[in-house]
Amino acid sequence: MKIDWLNFTPWPSLTGGLLIGLAVALFINFNGRVLGASGVIGGLIPPRADAPLRLSLIAGLLAAPLLLSFFNAARAPVFDKGTLTLVIAGLLVGFGTQLGSGCTSGHGICGIARLSPRSILATLIFMLAGIATVFVVRHILGAPVAS
């Protein structure tokens, strides 16, 4: 295994991770809820009684890049994939997270932090599926790499 030292960002990633953990800790302690993005969004389709709470959280997520832009600290995402790939990927992410009851935050962080066997297994599976997909795209199909 070769490490990509050039793009390795341990400190910003650790700092960001601590903030993500803080958000999880605040949500369970103040609101009594597990912070899972796909669950928060999924509960709006169709809307339930707690829609205002879910929309408030989503508003916070949307405000984050605006706040960081104000301090000139926000980096816009760079997408190197075409529209068709984005549409297929979006459909899979939307459908898969609902069928599997969670995503990177709900299973990968909250579930693992609670030592839930379901979440540990789910995280293992979506990571392996992601690794396999990137392997096929980059090393078998040989799609051009943006970097």
Partner 1 sequence: MKNLIAFAVGLIFGIGLLISGMTQPEKIFGFLDIFGRWDPSLVFVMGGALVVAVIGFYIAGKRGQSLLGDPLSLPDKTKTDPRLLAGAAIFGVGWGLAGVCPAPAIVNLGFLSAPAFIFAAAMLAGIAIYAVFSRATERS
- Binding positions for partner 1, 33-62, rule CB under 8 A: 33-35, 37-38, 41-42, 45-46, 52-54, 56-62
What is the widest separation between alpha-carbon atoms in the chain? 50
Dig out the tokens for 106 from the structure: 């709900």
**Residues between 108 and 127 with contacts to partner 1, criterion CB under 8 A:** 108-114, 116-118, 121-123, 125-127
Q: What angle do CA 136, 16, 89 make, to 5 degrees?
A: 30
Closest-CA residue to 58 (of 72, 42, 74): 42
Residue from 49, 70, 139, 141 touching partner 1 (CB under 8 A): that is: 139
Cα separation, 13 vs 15, in Å, equals: 5
**Residues between 8 and 27 with contacts to partner 1, criterion CB under 8 A:** 8-10, 12-27
Three-class SS of residue 48?
Answer: coil
Cα separation, 26 vs 54, in Å, equals: 15
Q: How far is the CB of 43 from partner 1 (least distance, A)?
A: 10
Could you tell me how many residues of this chain bind partner 1 (CB under 8 A)? 114
Q: How far is the CB of 9 from partner 1 (least distance, A)?
A: 5
Residue from 70, 72, 99, 144 touching partner 1 (CB under 8 A): that is: 99
